Amino acid sequence: MRKLMLAAIALGALSACADGPMLLPAPDRFDTAWETGDDADGDGVEDENDCAPQDANIFPGADEICNDGEDNDCDELIDGDDPACA
């Protein structure tokens, strides 16, 4: 009797797979909150990596403006102290 039940279960499992494997739905491509963080100023750098998350002109990789008293490129060097201004 037990073998008969196991055979029935196995046949049921095979018939459930006859239409192909069950696939999980793909994640929504536009729901990427888990992939990227917030970018409040819209400069393309996540707030956690941006030294000035409220100023779109100051971010890592920005050109240093050598006479504005700001650290535009987030390298912790301001104007005359920044080799980019040499």
Domain with 72 in it: 39-86
Classify residue 17: in a domain, yes or no.
Answer: no
In a domain, 63, yes or no: yes
| ∠ Cα 35 36 37 (to 5°) | 135
Number of domains in the chain: 1
Whether residue 74 is contained in a domain is answered as yes
What is the mean predicted confidence (pLDDT) over 43-50? 95
Residue 3 lies in a domain: no
- Contacts for 64 with CB less than 8 Å, ≥ 6 apart: 71, 72, 73, 75, 79, 82, 84, 85
48 lies in some domain: yes
Top pLDDT among 41 and 24 is at: 41
Query: 13 in a domain, yes or no?
Result: no
State yes or no: pLDDT of 76 exceeds 90: yes
Residue 77 domain flag: yes
Entry pTM? 0.55
Q: Average pLDDT over the chain, rounded to whole? A: 76
Q: How confident is the model at residue 30 (pLDDT cuts 50, 70, 90)?
A: very low
Q: Give the distance from CA 22 to its chain's centroid.
A: 28
Q: Which helix (H) or strand (E) holds 15?
A: helix 2-16
Provide, rounded to the nearest whole percent, the portion of the chain with pLDDT above 90: 55
Query: What pLDDT does residue 31 have?
Result: 45
Q: Is residue 62 part of a domain?
A: yes
